[in-house]
Structure 1
Amino acid sequence: MSRLLAPSQAWLFGRGVDLAVFAGSALVSVGLVLAAPALGAVGDTPLWAWVLFVVCVDVAHVWSTLFRTYLDGDELRRRPGLYVAAPLAAYLLGVLAYLLSPGAFWRLFAYTALFHFVRQQYGWVALYGRKARVSRTERVLDAAAIYAATLGPVVWWHAHLPRAFWWFVENDFLSGLPPWVGTAALAVHGLVLAAWGGFQVSRVVRGEGLQVGKVLLVLATWVTWYGGIVLARDDFAFTVTNVVLHGVPYFSLLFRYARGRLAEGGYGWLGPVVRAGLPGFLLVVVVLAFGEELLWDKLVWHERPRLFGEDGPVLPADVLTLVVPLLALPQATHYVLDAFIWKTSRDPSLLARLGWTRGGRQGSPDGTASISGMTIPGATE
């Protein structure tokens, strides 16, 4: 009979949390897509779904990064250069891209977001593997599986443009790939995932156990990316599958960090918000997300008068060159900072705040782990 991995190796946050934020997110997404006709959500994303998934999950998860960065006075004092340079560089690059053309700006933004989404899934699976101290062969297979599960459908998408949905705006992805390239990408992605699945079966046969959380994560990633891109026929299906699996686990990560930071006496005046638990944490980021979307609608889109009202200036093109990159700055800064804020080589206390060390820490064979594609040494408890 197969020997199961120790609980600390089989799960990342813990059995219940892992099942909820990874497998649960995928199941909710699939359930909503299947229920779309009954919900009146076939075709364009209805207002209620846009509020729930785009504002309260996708945009709000971007703002949750504040609890790791700008809302922590000690963190700001520790790395002031990073927290000034990141938004400044992102804004200047955005303005330069928009000066070329609005299309160039949105294309750059879309591919940056795509890279971020893919790397976050890789980050989760890499952390699972290193926490269980798997072999180098298995780490390579895990990486290949997660990249196949995400990039296979994305290449197919590029070979079948236009679709009934886009990442941000119409024509933000480059078109022109012949359909056979998309077919080949899906064939390769299927072979890679089959090889990865075969390896997982062989582990069980050899009595090495199964890292259940990691397996469910890869399956959840494949279901939402393949289903949300290849099988999806409308914007609602793509939106639901695209944002839930990305945003919900990140909420879990940031809330876990915020509780650890609060236990050290962090946040000062903001402490009561974190002490209020998950409702207080989510209330802050959702309010900020609504504020951002209000500005987008009033100044740029003018698409949701039922939610934000009719009034709003029509800005000239030269003003939009400055305004659009500014409104996109929270998301762009989130992308940049994620490359730095999860590295314990720069912040040795990070692991303790996340609850992955208690009184000492165990090292993986290479001493590293990863979140959102970023290196975290020693995260193997």
Structure 2
Amino acid sequence: MPQPWIRSARYDGLLILAPPFLALAAVLALPAPYRSTAQMPLLAWVALVVLIDVAHVYGTLFQTYFDPLKRRQRRTLLWVVPVACYTTGVALHSLGGLVFWRVLAYLAVFHFIRQQYGFLRIYSRHELRASGDWLASALVYYATLYPLLYWHLSPGRNFNWFIDGEFVQFNWPLGRLLATILYVALLAAYASHEFLKWRRTRTFNLPRNLLLGGTLVSWYAGIVWFNGDLAFTLLNVVSHGIPYLALVWNGGATSSQAPTPPRRGAWAGRYGLAVFLGAVVLFAFLEEGLWDGLVWREHGTVFGWFQRLPAVASPVLLMWLVPLLALPQSTHYVLDGFIWRRPK
């Protein structure tokens, strides 16, 4: 059986499968305090949060609003989703800022988990369903859910998704132990199944297993093994954002389909890659500048010009402003549930 690469062994290996392992290597090379404290160097924040995490959100534009054909095909979806996200965001923020951020954090978590499952389905597309194959799906879900359970059942951590207190947490050691036992049992069951399958068929799905290994590495190391903001952000952001941008650039096609679909609109042409990367970085910088100037006021050295904007403190104004500034993220989370669906 040929390996089910999305584009090629080199492309997938470098941009989709390797990022979690490279991120772990980077974390292991960090000075010890950055693996166990809330310290986050400014340059690391810019590189990880602005240039990857926020930037990858705007990759969705190139699969929707910036593509003339897809814009026509999905015109109703493309205006309904942002309107619904904004009105829902305002309603949530009217109940309190923490309510808004908590719902957005759980939506983000769901989006991150589903991306890993989506890649799993792509890399399993050539395989005939057989007894025990459900273990791969179970493992990719529990490889993400177990660290989240550990996080929720632990005392305060040195990192967060968006803001402090967004997750409902309480310290329950027995719950962590039970979750860990199930985690180890599922790993053992999957490894046994793969070994027996290899002995029977002499086939081994390399990208699928690398994807599962990367998911295990990034989520376990970022949340359970280490307890540092930089370690969590590096593993979380690099493992999610870079593969997503690679998938967008490839147009969602796979190596078993027709050639990669022609690019249309803003990223077509000789300088398409430069336009693509330049646009997502520019949008990310502008968004974070508005956040910093109007709301957070935390990174004035990076967003100097934006400090001229008036800081908004009124709860009523924040109720309308915060969901608007967060609209790219919320729209990205929801649209991605539709634009990557493929026939069975």
Query: Does TM-score exceed 0.5, indicating one fold?
Result: yes
The answer (yes or no) to whether the contact 2:52–2:241 under 8 Å persists in 1 is: yes
- Deviation of residue 174 (structure 1)? 0.5
Q: CA RMSD in A?
A: 2.2
The reply to whether residue 6 of structure 1 matches residue 2 of structure 2 is yes
Q: 1:147 to 1:50 in 2, by over 3 A?
A: same
Match of 1:96 in 2: 91
Separation (CA, whole Å) in 2 of partners of 1:337 and 1:55 = 21
Distance 1:319 1:145, change over 3 A: same
Q: Which has the higher contact order (CA 8 A, sep 6+)?
A: 2
Q: What CA distance in whole angstroms lies between the structure 1 residues aligned with 2:297 and 2:252? A: 35
Indicate the larger mover: 276-285 or 183-192: 276-285
Counterparts of 1:231-380 in structure 2, within 5 Å, are: 231-257=225-251, 264=262, 266-267=264-265, 270-272=267-269, 275-309=270-304, 310-315=307-312, 316-343=314-341, 376-377=342-343
> Residue 308 of structure 1 aligns to a residue in which SS?
coil
| 1:12 Cα offset (Å) | 2.9
What pairs with 1:1-381 in structure 2 (closer than 5 Å)?
5-7=1-3, 9=4, 11-37=5-31, 43-129=38-124, 131-176=125-170, 178-257=172-251, 264=262, 266-267=264-265, 270-272=267-269, 275-309=270-304, 310-315=307-312, 316-343=314-341, 376-377=342-343
Question: Which letter maps to 2:8?
Answer: G
User: Given that residues 22 and 220 in structure 1 are in contact (C-alpha distance below 8 angstroms), is that contact kept between their aligned partners in structure 2?
Assistant: no
> Helix, strand or coil for the counterpart of 1:169?
coil
Query: Identity, % of aligned pairs?
Result: 39
Structure-2 change in CA distance of 1:150 and 1:208 (3 Å): same
User: How many pairs were matched up?
Assistant: 336
Q: Which amino acid aligns with 1:340?
A: F
1:241-276 deviations in Å (ceiling 9; x for gaps): 111111111111110118999964721x6534xx32
CA contact (8 A) 2:58 2:280 kept: yes
What amino acid does structure 2 have at the position aligned with 1:17? Y
* Partner Cα separation in structure 1 for residue 50 and residue 142 of structure 2: 29
Whole-Å Cα distance in 1 between the matches of residues 189 and 252 of structure 2? 39
Residues 94, 319 of structure 2: 8 Å contact kept? yes
Structure 2 unmatched runs, 5+: none
- TM normalised by structure 1 equals 0.83
- Structure 1 unaligned spans of 5+: 344-375
Give CA-to-partner distance per residue, 1:268-294, whole Å, 9 cap, x none: x6534xx32433321111111111101
